[in-house]
Amino acid sequence: MQYRQLGRTDMKVSAISFGAWAIGGTWGPVDDGRSLAALHAAVDAGVNFVDTADVYGDGRSERLVARLRRERKGERIFVATKAGRRLPEQTPEGYSRDNLEAWVGRSLRNLETDTIDLLQLHCPHPRVYDAPEVFGILDDLVSAGKIRYYGVSVETVDEALRGIRQTNVQTVQIIFNMLRLKPAEQFFPAAKARQVGILARVPLASGLLTGKLTAESRFAADDHRSFNRNGEAFDKGETFSGVPYELGLELVERLRRLAPAGATLAQLALRFILMYDAVSCAIPGAKTVEQARANAAAADLPALSPETMAAVQALYDEKLRPLVHASW
């Protein structure tokens, strides 16, 4: 496992970390025993950073992470969570002191801790990025010892660029994978210049880049890959990275040929992300021990060749740039 500096914080985090959305819910059925086993397998493989949110399973994910830390007492496992999506409707006014303090307090209880390592605003209303008073409240929560650092989780490159104008934003979580390359072009240089950490989320494009999905794949009713194909519940770009499913399957067959000998397509996809030194970590999800181990092993792959990197870029330029580049 590689470890990378997370922006200006005091945290060195595993380059492959653990995204805990899937173990909370909206990815089909979950079993807490299997989820906890996956978390332990990730830590055994060198993972020391877990990203969750208060709305993943309405706190279920946070509580599982708390249990993990109880069972790994003495080991330093950094935890990031998020706040803001408990609002019934996203409004700038929703990011009030009362709401932020209540959300943080609830996460502290779920996580069974006195201090959150990293709190991220969870894809807030776009105007929040330009509201210094909201970030002032976060500064007060830092001063009160309830959070150590804060950042933002964003939908678009524009939001990321606006977010890092706020002085104490330490991290940005953004969708970045072989099907969504815009951040590398338009955001990574600015983040590096400001020493802002980057968490690459949706690194496997909702499972597309595992290479295991087919035209016959069916998803449970409570899986966002069923109910959010067109953005019915939240931003369309969260599901399959905004790529039409049938086109995604076609592109997967072309990308599969680029995987190094002995590596899976998913491992290629994760190693591709780590080729960008602006990225602090990729945060793939895992619901099983096998998935957690395979994800972590991607960090051990050799650097990808310039030819492989160029082939991914060419495919993006040919097939995806017209579809996704302007939207996010």
322 contact partners, CB below 8 Å, separation of at least 6: none
Look up tokens 């592109």; give the residue: 251
Amino acid 156 reads T
158 contact partners, CB below 8 Å, separation of at least 6: none
Q: Which helix (H) or strand (E) holds 281?
A: strand 281-282
Instruction: Work out the angle at residue 127's Cα, subtended by the Cα atoms of residues 125 and 128, and round it to the nearest 5 degrees.
Output: 70
Look up tokens 């830092």; give the residue: 142
| Rama region for 270: left / alpha / beta (φ>0; ψ in -120 to 50; rest) | alpha
Active-site residue list: 56
Buried b (16+ CB within 10 A) or exposed e, 34-60: ebbbbbbbbbebbbbbbbbbbbbbebb
3-state secondary structure of 61: helix
Contact 56, 21 (CB under 8 A): yes
Residue 197, Cα to own-chain centre: how many angstroms? 12
